[in-house]
Amino acid sequence: MSLSAFLKQNVKQIENEKVTVSERFIDENGDVIPFEVRVLTNDEDEQIRKQCTYKKQIPGKKYQYMNETDYEKYVGMQAVACTVYPDLKDSSLQDSYGVMGELNLLKAMLTPGEYANYLGAVQKINGFDKDMEDIVDEAKN
């Protein structure tokens, strides 16, 4: 077997995906406008995870702490980082919803169900929808 398939220039590139998040975002022709989503790099994901991790004291153990991750914040920040379009950093878009910050904008733009579905779509695009058993089964077939 050759390792050439693993060389960066030979690896299939992951394309951005269009995701219909809501039927409420329509253009002048009445067509639904999808969000454009990209895949995170491992370094980006690690930075987001670090931002969402804090130390929590172990009950009954003085000076002993364990790391905990705020999962809701983590997946929300992943969604923000993966969103290519619309530009969540755009100040006029934030102003139109009366919020500051990309995560606050995303939550303001979407209904709770749309937001939950979008988070799920972002997780799937980043490969978090399959566990190791699914990957092994897929490889066997």
- Per-position pLDDT tens, the chain of length 141: 788 888 888 888 889 999 999 999 999 999 999 999 999 999 999 999 999 999 888 888 888 888 898 999 999 999 999 999 999 999 999 999 999 999 999 999 999 999 999 999 999 999 987 654 554 455 555
Extract the runs of DSSP E, i.e. beta strands, from the chain.
17-19, 35-37, 53-57, 65-69, 83-85
Fold of 15-125: rbstp2171 (3.30.2220)
Burial of 92: CB neighbours in 10 Å, binned 0-12, 13-18, 19+: exposed
pTM of the predicted protein model: 0.81
